[in-house]
Amino acid sequence: MNMAEKVVMITGASRGIGEAAARLFAQNGAKVALLARTEDRIAEIAGEIGPSAIAIPCDVGRYWEVEAAVDATIKAFGRLDVLIGNAGIIEPIAHIAEIDPDDWGNVIDINLKGVFHGMRAALPHMIDAGGGTIITISSGAATSPIEAWSHYCSSKAGAKMLTGCLHTEYAEAGIRALGLSPGTVATQMQREIKASGINRVSQLDWSDHIPPDWPAQALMWMCSAAADDWLGQDISLRDDDIRRKVGLV
């Protein structure tokens, strides 16, 4: 898919799905803004990609940092066409009666408020430009309660609802809102889940997880009109028909 002249901002771009997406979008002609808290790592990735990439240190849990990142992206590249809300955490994995309330709230700040912050900061620019695409990384945890993941499940359920609300409010303004539920992906988060030893997901073998470049390819496909039938909804990469459409089968 040709993404020439498109500008894509990706949160959580220092590793996993975010890093893979940044590299793939750039390979297909896009200019990419990499956001993450790990300044050195996103600077390294942006340097490897080249002049079509910029690194912006950002904590998505703080609205003013996300707003400044959007402004910096537009200053550097002149526009913003795609926002991918990928930043997410799951630790500490713990039961409700045992987890520290501040730690529980931090997951909500990143996984849910961070998604809202991206939408809120990007929307005025996209609406003024006549449209844009906002994709949020969702999860099967958005609809299925999982032991010791109360913070993660709640945040993903909220983010899924945000995507639906975004579509309801701004589809007529040209905003394409979608969620991608990738399934289990071979990333650092899965190492953290495995180390917890809690619930069925931690028992999966590493070979059960898909590589990060699969969701990256799905994200690029979702930026095209081919995904318009799913606007306002989650697209599941566990669906074989979706995998065929993306070109993964």
Average pLDDT over residues 96-102: 98
pLDDT attached to residue 100: 98
Residue 1 lies in a domain: no
Residue 2 lies in a domain: no
Secondary structure (3-state) at 155: helix
Q: Which domain holds residue 66?
A: 7-246
CA distance 135 to 93: 26
Contact of 182 with 218, CB cutoff 8 Å = yes
CA distance 39 to 41: 6
Average pLDDT over residues 35-58: 97
How many residues appear in the chain? 249
The answer to whether residue 206 scores a pLDDT higher than 80 is: no
* pTM: predicted TM-score of the whole model, two decimal places: 0.94
Confidence class of residue 161 from pLDDT cuts 50, 70 and 90? Answer: very high
Q: In terms of pLDDT, which residue wins out, 193 or 180?
A: 180
- Number of neighbours of residue 118 by Cβ within 10 angstroms: 29
CA distance 129 to 82: 12
**What percentage of the chain reaches a pLDDT higher than 70?**
100
Query: For the chain, what is the domain count?
Result: 1
Residue 26 lies in a domain: yes
Which residues are marked as active site?
152
Residue 74 lies in a domain: yes
Q: Report the run of H or E that residue 160 belongs to, with start and end.
A: helix 150-170
The CATH code of the domain that includes 194 is 3.40.50.720
Confidence class of residue 93 from pLDDT cuts 50, 70 and 90? Answer: very high
Output the six-digit token pair for 227.
């995904």
